[in-house]
Structure 1
């Protein structure tokens, strides 16, 4: 591995030890002389030919004119060139806004105003921020009239003041901040405004994200060291190169900002047309078509398991631009959103469904299917097969999934779990056979938001439940580990290799456990819900996990080629009204072996009616 020119690197990184350059990727690692030359200063950087370098010269703080030039330039480019970011339909604005004005002395003033739906909706920005533990200023019924007259600057958190300054710099005269535009002591007002959250962010000119402001004394603008972002010059074999931070590292770091770990911010970031992220190091601009930063780089590719990657669903359009989104992309997009969202933090666990209701409402305008406690009726089998994601670190207790203590969602919904969930079947491109149907769904929500908080829920299914007994094989009971070392007793034809994922560890020794087959694919994989009997005589069961195993072809006698199946991209294809006789015989045979369930009302020759609570 050849070394690059030392003298040029020393100008930018005094005391560096060495810089190694890979022959193919032209990657540079720079180390300091401190600690025997092992301390990394800059790792994973790239060498770029001098003529290709477009690294911007940065100022020493993010409030500089060069920073604002970057923001204004990106906004103009987006408004002129990006059709996916254009606001369609009738203008709209929230119930209340903060109106900005400037005195002759250059003092920025702010006051609360009620909007008039009969007038043209004003252009406004929105603010995404962390509330923190000590909220010093919020709208209540007691200070409503006072805030309509004037909001003194000395009582406002610095991030609010900076958001007002940023809004003014962008040429916008109205700002929406949740804590100052929603009455915090009125549940009725909160429910009404939260039900309109999708429109609040969708119709805003842009969203201002206070990414690093964790305290009331933190703002949007910070001092920084420009040298860390400027390109150095070096020569290798007669060719001059610039070296700079790796292209994707800075965008990866953006997702790790404190703000973007908050649950409410997930939908705020996806619903807004444009998002400006103010971090300690630099400013990022994000819209439906691109993500770029002050250094001058643009993220070229995105992963579906990141929030920004979800913007690029269906022909490079974002999630909020539903008019450009194909219907078959809706549910896969939603399940990816849920997986990202479930790993985020919520101050109030009861907000689990409310904090994502804006996205659900927006998606419903395209999908037009019933929404059931975080799932869609058209894809219930796929949605019900969610699995908890556990940390492999036995010392990591924060990521242990737990069931919510107070009711906020039924057990069959991912929203009943505090912790990250995944939808393994969402990644499949093969066709699957549906083995369970649903004849009645009852979900009660509040009057304002049909996609929000749930009061009660019930799901009635027709399927082939059979009793199972989980046998542990050298399985450590540490809850943080993946639960895969199980076999299922008394199930003929089921191969020994079975994956069992329990929602929580409390059901490890559950005696009354049943499996409800959901789907079966053409490779022989059977996916079942694991259920615990609550009142078998009434047919009531609750979900405790998921079971995945393989059925041998010998057990079925032949390949079940004449079954109903669901193309996971959204198309139902039916060649026969019922599952094949071979599969039915197999399911009935395992239902009859050791069946201690009370006789339930049969709906046909094979299936039984059960209630999931």
Structure 2
């Protein structure tokens, strides 16, 4: 349902204001109490924008907005038609976009209103007041059956391949009768427990399945598998000893029925602790993550829980899950062939999936990203409902037949698959006939390579915004996805600390994604720190890898091969921390040899207010021009630890690529020490085509600088060869 204010605006254009723009402008709620009342009465639109407003008011920039917007209308709305070849106009179905702004400054909601022809009799109406109900269970089973029957590929996992250990949902202390066929079964519990079972003790001929669990560990203590209690776990684990999330997952897995007999939970199936045995077991099991999740029947995700004490199940108001519809007048909306019609439209909050799934607590954990992507399907236990995610469909109780594929990207509404759809766009099937790419980066039309890398680019950008309890896990927590990607790329495309050998020159140009606040961009990024804020002592990744930084807003991955390259990769040296896992931990000594033009520079930080927080100039050229547009990887850390500013900073500029827009993109490097052939990445800079002085940057290397004295020098090309570590 929607409130009277929203209905009057959409059906009768009440509150309309002429602005001479492409969209229709409306006054919405005049004051906060009016909006709060609509939220209380469960308006499907106002409930969403009220939650967004409350979240916005908790942010720092709210104070600035509040001052700047004094006296303005509380809420404004903007209505427009969505156009483009991908929309369903050819079938007579229109789509409209509805935006809301707080005091005409901060956007607090975007909705799509899609013309509906669906019969009311086919609608799903949730009545259950908790996600532990049989009603919710039956919907989950319906999704699974639909996936098994109608979706391509093997969605049920592999019931002949098992992890090293599993939790038996029906150990010998339980009487269990299972039927094949449609999966109907009768189980009578004699004890209130589960047990740990080893792979070699699983009856392979039975064809039993296992599910997996994604969860947040949290700060509280919980029972876990250790070397000293391994045999005890095999004898049995009382449910009373387990945290609420584990108990709920076990309950739901048992109720799924069919041939689901086991569950895999990391802390109960991998030996924990600080002993060598625990470390060895962790390394061994980390190597198997790809297989563990890929072969599972389903992944259960405690999506909304911040720790094991909160459990998976939630109480809720079922009426908040009912569909929201309205009658919309398209009178006066530009871009429509007929603008005097009244349309019956279904209302969709474009932030629904992001709020309830993508940005939920468990999915902000770094390890969970690969769990979501590797598992054939995921059932999310969200704050108010369950949701479904597989290669071909996203759904929720409020959208049981599939969530419309509308997404908000870069301010525009597009159609396209969400995160898990990436695994059906090039991750899983290797292409043996794919075009061979020149490993020296000499190919200029590598559109196929860019397309192949697009899923990896999106995964890395998403992963770089997640959190890890142990920063040293940065690469190994992504190793399962990397292993899956490698199958698609082929054996000759070497994995290099989160990057790939083909097109490596361009991939080196990743950058930190800045945060825009109060009219300025800020680079809130650092070298890896532990939970106490101390610098991590363990080696994680070479400086040329995005894995060498932690960025609040993540990183932007560079995979375009278009434009002119100014460097070449001469050799790659990978020092794996585990010889059995080329996608996992790394040791010091990992490096690449790069040939290019090295120009010594001086990096400065302007004292007066400037749009550029950092600037640089050529050190050897007297009176040289200053350049801005600098993006440093970890500004504060590198200033303190590496002394990068001023004439003693040992800083160099390495022109890397001129893109199709004419920008010369250069890596900013620092010599590890005077007389060393080794350099570390500090950031990058972009020089527009209209800026003078570019020709000097692209001239031959500074052969006379102290730091380059020991580096290999090619007088004919004017290039140095350096080691980037």
Is TM (by shorter chain) over 0.5?
yes
Q: Structure 1: how far apart are the matches of 2:503 and 2:198? A: 41
Corresponding position of 1:112? 196
For 1:263, the equivalent position in structure 2 comes to 366
Shift of 1:598: 1.8
Quote the offset at 1:133 in angstroms. Answer: 0.9
Give the distance between the partners of 2:689 and 2:23, measured in 1 at CA: 46
Between the aligned partners of 2:596 and 2:501, the Cα distance in structure 1 is 16
In 1, distance between residues paired with 2:521 and 2:626? Answer: 31
The unaligned stretches of length 5 or more in structure 1 are 1-7, 557-582
User: Which residue in 2 is equivalent to 1:58?
Assistant: 126
Residue 262 of structure 1 contacts residue 345 of structure 1 at CA under 8 Å; is this kept in 2? yes
- Most deviating of 386-395 and 522-531: 386-395
Alignment partners' CA distance in 2, 1:594 and 1:292: 61
**Residue 287 of structure 1: how far off its partner (Å):** 0.5
Q: Provide Cα deviations, 1:372-420, integer angstroms capped at 9, x if missing partner.
A: 2211122221221111123234899998211133221121211111224
| Distance across 1 between alignment mates of 2:281 and 2:526 | 31
Q: Does 2:321 match 1:321?
A: no
Larger deviation: 343-352 or 60-69? Answer: 60-69
**Residue number in structure 2 paired with 1:299:** 404
User: How far is the alpha carbon of 1:554 from its aligned partner?
Assistant: 9.7
Correspondence for 1:578:
none
Q: Which runs of 5+ in 2 are unaligned?
A: 14-21, 40-45, 50-109, 176-187, 330-339, 435-447, 529-534
Assess if the C-alpha contact under 8 Å between 1:95 and 1:115 holds in 2.
yes
Q: 135-144 or 454-463: which moved more? A: 454-463
Query: Aligned-pair distance for 1:321?
Result: 2.6
Matched with 1:415 is 547
For residues 236-259 of structure 1, the C-alpha deviation after alignment (integer angstroms, 9 at most, x for no partner) is: 789998786524332121212111
Q: CA deviation at 1:589?
A: 4.1
CA 1:211–1:234 in 2, change beyond 3 Å: closer, same or farther?
closer
3-state SS of the aligned residue for 2:709? coil
Pick one of 287, 294, 297 that aligns with 1:202. 294
SS in 1 for 2:571: strand
Tell me what 1:466 maps to.
599
- Deviation (angstroms), 1:424: 5.7
| Inter-CA distance 553–592: structure 2 relative to 1 (3 Å threshold) | farther
TM, length-normalised to structure 2: 0.69
SS in 2 for 1:378: coil
CA distance in structure 1 between the partners assigned to 2:582 and 2:605 by the alignment: 42
Q: Which residues of 2 match residues 344-493 of structure 1 at below 5 A?
A: 344-367=466-489, 368=491, 369-393=493-517, 400-404=524-528, 405=535, 406=537, 407-419=539-551, 420-423=553-556, 425-426=558-559, 428=560, 430-456=562-588, 457-470=590-603, 476=609, 483=613
Q: Which has the higher contact order (CA 8 A, sep 6+)?
A: 1
Whole-Å Cα distance in 1 between the matches of residues 712 and 254 of structure 2?
67
1:538 has 2:676 as partner? yes
Listed as ranges, the matches of 1:547-558 within 5 Å are 547-550=685-688
Equivalent position to 2:420, from 289, 307, 311 = 311
Map of 2:247 onto structure 1: 161
Q: Residue in 1 aligned with 2:722?
A: 610
Deviation of 1:80 (Å): 1.4
- 8 Å CA contact retained: 2:300, 2:379: yes
- CA offset at residue 551 of structure 1? 5.2
Q: Note closer, same or farther for the CA distance 1:28–1:352 as it changes in structure 2 (3 Å cut).
A: farther
Aligned to 1:341: 463
Q: 1:525: how far off?
A: 2.4
Quote how far apart the aligned CAs of 1:46 are: 6.3
Counterpart Cα distance in 1 of 2:670 and 2:689: 23
Aligned position for 1:228: 320
**Which residue number in structure 1 is paired with residue 105 of structure 2?**
none
Change (3 A) 1:224 1:27: farther
Matched residue of 1:537: which SS?
Answer: coil
Query: Do residues 500 (structure 1) and 630 (structure 2) align?
Result: yes
Deviations 1:236-293 (A, max 9, x none): 7899987865243321212121111111111111111101101121111110011011
> C-alpha distance in 1, partners of 2:27/2:263?
44
The Cα of 1:334 is off from its aligned counterpart by 1.7
SS in 2 for 1:447: coil
Aligned to 1:214, the other structure's residue is in SS state: coil
State the alpha-carbon separation in 2 of the partners of residues 165 and 25 from structure 1.
Answer: 50
Shift of 1:527: 1.7
Name which of 304, 312, 319 aligns with 1:212.
304
TM-aligned CA deviation for residue 552 of structure 1: 6.6
Pairwise CA distance, 1:592: 5.8
Q: In 2 relative to 1, CA 79–236 (structure 1 residues): closer, same or farther, beyond 3 Å? A: closer
* 264, 267, 270: which one aligns with 1:176: 264
Contact 2:675 2:709 in 1 (8 A): yes
Q: Any idea what SS the aligned residue of 1:295 has?
A: coil
Deviation of 1:127 after TM superposition, in Å, equals 0.4
Contact 2:212 2:265 in 1 (8 A): yes
- Distance between the aligned counterparts of 1:29 and 1:61, measured in 2? 37
Distance 1:303 1:107, change over 3 A: farther
Matched-pair contact (CA < 8 Å) for 2:606–2:613: no
In 1, Cα distance between the equivalents of 2:346 and 2:264? 37
- Cα distance in 2 for partners of 1:301, 1:17 equals 22
Give, in whole Å, the separation in 2 of the partners of 1:298 and 1:164. Answer: 28
Shift of the alpha carbon at 1:51?
A: 4.6
Say which of 202, 216, 225 aligns to 1:130: 216
Distance change in 2, residues 1:409/1:47 (3 Å): closer
Deviation of 1:332 after TM superposition, in Å, equals: 3.0
Contact 1:464 1:517 in 2 (8 A): yes
Contact 2:497 2:541 in 1 (8 A): yes
Distance 1:239 1:67 in 2: 38
Kept in 2: contact 1:403–1:416 (CA 8 A): yes
State the partner residue of 1:97. 166
CA distance in 2, matches of 1:245, 1:281: 18
Counterpart in the other structure of 2:147 = 78
> Scaled by the length of structure 1, what TM-score is found?
0.81
Using the TM superposition, give the Cα deviation of residue 39 of structure 1 relative to its aligned residue in structure 2, in angstroms.
Answer: 5.7
Residue 146 of structure 1, CA deviation: 0.9
Alpha carbons of 1:350 and 1:48: their partners in 2 closer, same or farther (altered >3 Å)? closer
Label 1:553 to 1:155 Cα distance change in 2 as closer, same or farther (>3 A): closer
CA distance in structure 2 between the partners assigned to 1:522 and 1:543 by the alignment: 24
The count of aligned residue pairs is 569
SS in 2 for 1:332: helix
**Closer/same/farther in 2, CA of residues 223 and 446 from structure 1, 3 Å limit:** same
- Which stretch has the larger CA shift, 364-373 or 396-405? 396-405
Shift of 1:468: 1.9
